[in-house]
Structure 1
Amino acid sequence: MKPGLLLGLFLVLTLKLSAQTDSVTFRPNKINQFKLVPLPAIGSNPANGWLFGLAPSATWYMGDPATTKMSNFVGNFLYTTKKQWIFSSRSNIFLNENKTILIGDWRYFITSQPTYGLGSSTPNDPIENPNQPGVWWGEQQMDFRLIRFYEAILKRIGDSKFYLGAGYHLDIHSKIESFQDEEITGELEFVHDRYNSDLGFDTDKYTVSGISLNMVMENRDNSVSPYEKNFGWIQYKINPTFFGSDQSSSLLLMDYRHYINLSESRKRHLIALWGMGNFLVSGDVPYMNLPGIGWDMFGRTGRAYAQGRFRGESMVYTEAEWRFPLQQNKETFGGTIFVNAASFSSKTNNEKLFEKFNPGYGVGLRVMINKQNRTTISADYGFGQKGNSGFYLNVNESF
């Protein structure tokens, strides 16, 4: 069955189930009215350079705010100084009385970014890989296009904080081209091409298409900018060839976030903790579908490093952030101090998880533009190892 047909069937099934199980009543002049922030985007990060365009965000309620959590959407419609086009939408939608959650991640990229090889020990500058003679190690440029459609529907278990459900996931990478800058000489093979050819994947286009089983614990007071409680997500993704994948595979994602309030009178003063693991369980996936830094749903892992700076068959990530208000009696301005670390495995370089960590740290400024819904503009600067650093401008908290 073709991925496009699966996508259509999944959309029809999602809409049908939602219509059958949740009746939604909108009440004019209440807080559940749709609130859109059409934010102009002027920012910078290591993977894209300077970005220009729109980064709209929206919050709304799909039912009575007393019994329904706030839904949110974040979009990007951007052009960058590296001649990239980035279109994306990410959403968490809570239907009436939180009976159903819809989690969406849709993207279309005409983009480029460097890759450095697999594992946590990859250098910045390109050299020959001592563990893989004849192959580049370190920075290598890549152009590619990406079509991504991820959508999951989860049903609440009774009156608990737990949800079970299924999802459909499609990634199509195409028009992939690896190259080196003109001033770099050498006849070595690109790591992306060697990895794919060794495992029987094409080097210029590949597809991963499959379904997922999901369990979510949603206990946060607000998914846009949490002040307390916790969130957990376990996802087992299966990518069989009869769903359109080039090869069969499976991956496991585990994500947990905890928010410790430091002041009852100023709930914005808190410690936020995040732990995540992403593991290739069976089979093989193409190079760009391996777990990588900055490739989580909202692209927030690894502040201090460019998206894709580290990649491997398995990934473990952890982060801690101190969030605090900067005004005595107002909530408009806030600050943050964060530290993070990631570890990646690589069969090619005989590198195991936890053998090496890549730490990052930094500071950030928060501007709350909608106090009722806690919509926030975040600006962070992160510092990593070996001269890696970056500026990050986003909508809402990092996690």
Structure 2
Amino acid sequence: MRYSFLTLFFFVALNSLSFAQEQDTLLAKKTDVDAIDVLSRILNTKWASKHDSLDKKSGRVYFSGAPSVGYSLTSGASAIFVGDFAFFASELRDQKISIIYTDVLYTQKEQFVFRVQNNLWTKNNKFNIVSDWRYYWYPQKTYGLGSSSSLAGSVDQTYSYIRLHQTVLKSFRPNWYAGAGIAWDYHYDIVQTIEPTNDNQSVLAAINEYGVTKQSNSTGLLFNLLFDNRVNSINPQGGKFMNVVYRTNFTFLGSDGPWQMALVDLRKYVPFPKRSENTLAFWSYNWFTFGGNAPYLDLPATGWDISSNLGRGYIQGRFRSKSLVYLESEYRFKILRNGLLGGVVFGNAQSVSNWPANNFDSIALGAGAGLRIKFNKYSRANVCIDYGFGQGGSQGVFVNLGEVF
């Protein structure tokens, strides 16, 4: 099982690394309709014509934002406000869209999340500035290390979390970038509510063997290699993306230990059928820690990628270990010709290494479908509402502004 899964991973990775110039585009047709148009017609206003244009305009800000509700096994019911600001630094044909994304979330389980994430491109795409800033107050369930635990075998944790990651990359050839940054992850007030049961004995044993402290501090340097020929990262309709990140943590910067991390994120988008606006999307996300033990809450885990989207169909943190490999495919299609409504179907597979052997011997599968509501036709931002399910009774509703990947 281990070798067949890794062979599949490397096959997909090599396929994604054929960097032909399959460019994404950013065009809105005059017949396209979005939620702003619908609201304008209902209220008999002209918001869309006043604030948007079919042309790419430097300095014009395209805002998409809305309150929403969601449900997942992690949070129960949740109230969310999510918004993004999209703009161009120039009117050049290949100028990539810059995005400032923010969300605020409060859940039935008293979780509070505030995030600001930026992906900014300077004129002529010379520099890429990436930020990931978060604050969490987060009661959650944890399931130990590896993939053998059941949903019933959980342990309750509560903690606060501050994350500040900042990276600057510079272009060294078209669509290729290299850069560096700094990362700080600070978990504090970590409390475990331990009620031993027949189901969670192995989970408790794994957690205690690995070690969970009342706080953890990971501070290190980031080194990035990026390929990205997508024009619109909110909703790509073509192109490829590769992000390779190496992180090394240093005690002289305040880190508890000198552990290291490597991340390989590969994505490919193919119009299918070829001349349609439907898209077949592929995602491979591979996350490894080594050179020391990362703090428990910094280990690779389901739903803890930068956009918190990895592993639809499973509760956040369902699988956690020193290494994680992941594959997902999604088909995105129009339901209405004017683009107001669309749909997706998706399937995914993830595997985390066992502890302490650190090998891969099982795969967790997930699948689902979802609805897309065009919120802003100029930035192509969709409100995404997905239902996903996985093995062992895992399921949930997942809400996003902008595509999952």
TM-score bracket relative to the smaller structure: 0.7 to 0.9
> Which consecutive residues of structure 2, in runs of 5 or more, have no partner in the other structure?
1-51
CA RMSD of superposed structures (Å): 2.1
Distance 1:31 1:47 in 2: 41
- Asked if 2 retains the 8 angstrom alpha-carbon contact of 1:145 and 1:176, the reply is yes
Cα deviation for residue 188 of structure 1 reads 8.7
Distance 1:123 1:236 in 2: 32
Distance 1:230 1:286 in 2: 33
Q: Pick from 214, 217, 236: which aligns with 1:226?
A: 236
Q: What are the within-5 Å matches in structure 2 for residues 83-232 of structure 1?
A: 83-126=110-153, 139-158=154-173, 160-180=174-194, 190=204, 194-197=208-211, 203-232=213-242
Equivalent residue number for residue 282 of structure 1: 291
Equivalent AA in structure 2 for residue 31 of structure 1? K
Percent of aligned pairs with the same residue?
A: 31
What is the CA deviation profile of residues 222-273 of structure 1, one whole-angstrom value per residue up to 9, with x for unaligned ones?
Answer: 1110001110010000001111100101110001000111135432x12100
Secondary structure of 1:38's aligned partner: strand
- Asked if 2 retains the 8 angstrom alpha-carbon contact of 1:312 and 1:346, the reply is yes
Establish whether residue 31 from structure 1 lines up as the match of residue 37 from structure 2: no
Cα deviation for residue 345 of structure 1 reads 0.6
What is the CA deviation profile of residues 18-71 of structure 1, one whole-angstrom value per residue up to 9, with x for unaligned ones?
Answer: xxxxxxxxxx98633112223113222221122214111111112225242101
Equivalent AA in structure 2 for residue 157 of structure 1? F
Q: Pick from 234, 244, 256: which aligns with 2:254?
A: 244
Q: Pick from 72, 75, 84: which aligns with 1:57?
A: 84
- Asked if 1 retains the 8 angstrom alpha-carbon contact of 2:155 and 2:200, the reply is no
- Asked if 2 retains the 8 angstrom alpha-carbon contact of 1:231 and 1:258, the reply is yes
Q: Pick from 319, 330, 333: which aligns with 1:324?
A: 333
Equivalent residue number for residue 45 of structure 1: 72
Distance 2:72 2:208 in 1: 28
Equivalent AA in structure 1 for residue 213 of structure 2? T
Structure 1 runs of 4+ aligned residues shifted over 3 Å read: 180-193
Equivalent AA in structure 2 for residue 118 of structure 1? L
CA gap 1:364/1:191 in 2 versus in 1, 3 angstroms? farther
CA gap 1:368/1:90 in 2 versus in 1, 3 angstroms? same
Secondary structure of 1:309's aligned partner: coil
Q: Pick from 333, 341, 365: which aligns with 2:371?
A: 365
Equivalent AA in structure 2 for residue 97 of structure 1? N
- Asked if 2 retains the 8 angstrom alpha-carbon contact of 1:178 and 1:190, the reply is no
Distance 1:320 1:182 in 2: 38
User: Which deviates more, 252-261 or 30-39?
Assistant: 30-39
Secondary structure of 2:302's aligned partner: coil
- Asked if 2 retains the 8 angstrom alpha-carbon contact of 1:249 and 1:283, the reply is yes
Distance 1:187 1:279 in 2: 26
Cα deviation for residue 306 of structure 1 reads 0.9
Distance 2:193 2:132 in 1: 29
- Asked if 1 retains the 8 angstrom alpha-carbon contact of 2:387 and 2:397, the reply is yes
What is the CA deviation profile of residues 276-315 of structure 1, one whole-angstrom value per residue up to 9, with x for unaligned ones?
Answer: 1101131111101010010001011000001100001100
Cα deviation for residue 182 of structure 1 reads 9.6
- Asked if 1 retains the 8 angstrom alpha-carbon contact of 2:145 and 2:206, the reply is no
- Asked if 2 retains the 8 angstrom alpha-carbon contact of 1:195 and 1:287, the reply is no
Equivalent AA in structure 2 for residue 211 of structure 1? L
CA gap 1:186/1:170 in 2 versus in 1, 3 angstroms? closer
- Asked if 1 retains the 8 angstrom alpha-carbon contact of 2:155 and 2:203, the reply is no
- Asked if 1 retains the 8 angstrom alpha-carbon contact of 2:374 and 2:383, the reply is yes
- Asked if 2 retains the 8 angstrom alpha-carbon contact of 1:224 and 1:374, the reply is yes
Cα deviation for residue 76 of structure 1 reads 1.2
Equivalent residue number for residue 384 of structure 1: 390
What is the CA deviation profile of residues 137-171 of structure 1, one whole-angstrom value per residue up to 9, with x for unaligned ones?
Answer: xx11110000000111100013x211000011110
CA gap 1:78/1:192 in 2 versus in 1, 3 angstroms? farther
Equivalent AA in structure 1 for residue 138 of structure 2? T
Equivalent residue number for residue 8 of structure 2: none
CA gap 1:226/1:257 in 2 versus in 1, 3 angstroms? same
Distance 2:346 2:203 in 1: 38
CA gap 1:262/1:176 in 2 versus in 1, 3 angstroms? same
- Asked if 2 retains the 8 angstrom alpha-carbon contact of 1:31 and 1:65, the reply is no
- Asked if 2 retains the 8 angstrom alpha-carbon contact of 1:192 and 1:287, the reply is no
Distance 1:186 1:123 in 2: 8
User: Which deviates more, 296-305 or 51-60?
Assistant: 51-60
Equivalent residue number for residue 398 of structure 1: 404
Cα deviation for residue 190 of structure 1 reads 3.5
CA gap 1:320/1:189 in 2 versus in 1, 3 angstroms? closer
Distance 1:125 1:361 in 2: 21
Cα deviation for residue 346 of structure 1 reads 2.5
Distance 2:198 2:116 in 1: 37
Equivalent AA in structure 2 for residue 376 of structure 1? N
Secondary structure of 1:41's aligned partner: strand
Distance 1:52 1:65 in 2: 39
Cα deviation for residue 386 of structure 1 reads 0.7
Distance 1:384 1:156 in 2: 40
Cα deviation for residue 115 of structure 1 reads 0.6
- Asked if 2 retains the 8 angstrom alpha-carbon contact of 1:196 and 1:203, the reply is no
Distance 1:187 1:277 in 2: 29
Distance 2:392 2:293 in 1: 31
Distance 2:330 2:317 in 1: 22
